[in-house]
């Protein structure tokens, strides 16, 4: 019997292939471990961050914390936003990742360690999550924010009406010294909403993600490799 009961898609494969060429930060709202599986299949080491809004406070902070697992380790451990956790380098004044970082902002399913399962799922969870995202006591690790401040963001498969990303983008825009343009691929966007996001330096391309990824693969000169 195959141990790979769940199939990665061409999008997971594309992300992992790109990360294999150059370390990058990947942010997802999905609970599943398909991105992790794709990264492992491509031999990409990665550090993992997981928001755990249901965990007890640490060091006198509000309810909830961020869990962290260094590449090559198996246990998620609570961390604070001020800890320097990522493997970074300075290149021409720009902060670069030396190893891919995966940030799961809505929680996580761990097939091997059930006690590490955690979910942002109830209305109270979302209220707590959004409150922490917009405060000085944020759940986003500071060194991950530092990396994202100088990066162009590409939103794939997300509803741009999602408050989570609006709060995240707002925090990044407020902390950047200069405006930075980002991009989004969405097949459910109205002209008025596109203009609204344009005012936030997000250029939206209306396209089906299932059509976009193969075209991106072609543009990069490679063929998609779905796992089986």
Q: What is the pLDDT of residue 126?
A: 63
Residue 26 has pLDDT above 80, yes or no: yes
Residue of 112, 92, 102 whose CA lies nearest to 28: 102
> What is the spatial distance between Cα 197 and Cα 30, in angstroms, rounded to a whole number?
23
Q: What is the pLDDT of residues 133-182, one digit of tens each?
A: 655 566 777 888 888 887 888 888 776 666 767 777 777 777 776 778 88
Written as six digits, the tokens of 163 are: 């408050």
| Residue 177 confidence (pLDDT) | 67
Give 173's contacts (C-beta < 8 A, 6+ positions apart): 179, 180, 200, 201
The arrangement of strands across the sheet holding 182-186 comes to 154-156, 182-186, 202-206
Residue 100 pLDDT: 96
- Please write the tens of the pLDDT for every residue from 178-221: 778 889 888 877 788 788 888 888 898 888 888 898 888 888 77
Which pLDDT tens digit goes with each residue over 77-91? 888 777 788 888 877
Q: What is the dihedral of CA 175, 181, 183, 189, to 10 degrees?
A: 90
> How would you label 141-164 residue by residue, b for 16+ Cβ within 10 Å and e otherwise?
bebbeebbbebebebbbbebeeeb
Rounded to whole angstroms, the Cα distance separating 42 from 138 reads 32
In this prediction the pTM is 0.82
Per-domain boundaries in the chain: 8-151, 152-222
Q: What is the 3-state secondary structure (H, E, C) of 73-94?
A: CCCCEEECCCCCCCCEEEECCE
pLDDT digits (tens, 9 = 90+) for 94-135: 788 999 999 998 878 777 765 666 766 666 666 666 666 655
The pLDDT value given to residue 227: 42
Is it the case that residue 228 has pLDDT exceeding 50? no
Please work out, in degrees rounded to the nearest 5, the angle formed at the alpha carbon of residue 160 by the alpha carbons of 154 and 164: 90
What's the pLDDT at 19?
94
Question: pLDDT, tens digit, for every residue of 38-57?
Answer: 999 999 999 999 888 776 66
What's the pLDDT band for 34 if we cut at 50, 70, 90? very high
Among 9, 7, 36, 21, which residue's Cα sits nearest to residue 221? 21
Contacts of 162 (CB under 8 A, 6+ apart): 29
Specify whether the CB–CB gap between 44 and 100 falls below 8 A: yes
Per-residue pLDDT band for 1 (boundaries 50, 70, 90) equals: very low
């Amino acid at each position: 019997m195959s141990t790979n009961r769940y199939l990665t898609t061409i999008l997971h494969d594309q992300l992992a292939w790109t990360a294999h060429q150059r370390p990058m930060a990947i942010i997802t709202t999905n609970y599943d471990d398909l991105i992790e599986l794709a990264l492992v299949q491509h031999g990409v080491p990665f550090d993992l961050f997981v928001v755990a809004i249901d965990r007890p406070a640490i060091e006198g902070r509000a309810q909830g914390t961020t869990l962290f697992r260094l590449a090559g380790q198996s246990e998620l451990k609570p961390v604070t936003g001020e800890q320097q956790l990522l493997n970074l380098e300075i290149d021409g004044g720009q902060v670069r990742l030396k190893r891919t970082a995966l940030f799961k902002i809505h929680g996580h399913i761990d097939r091997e360690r059930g006690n590490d399962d955690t979910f942002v799922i109830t209305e109270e969870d979302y209220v707590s999550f959004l409150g922490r995202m917009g405060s000085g006591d944020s759940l986003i690790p500071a060194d991950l924010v530092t990396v994202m401040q100088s990066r162009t963001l590409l939103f794939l498969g997300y509803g741009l009406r999602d408050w989570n990303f609006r709060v995240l983008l707002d925090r990044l825009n407020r902390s950047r010294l200069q405006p930075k343009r980002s991009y989004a691929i969405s097949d459910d966007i109205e002209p008025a909403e596109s203009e609204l996001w344009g005012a936030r330096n997000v250029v939206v391309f209306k396209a089906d993600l299932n059509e976009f990824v193969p075209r991106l693969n072609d543009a990069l000169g490679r063929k998609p490799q779905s796992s089986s």
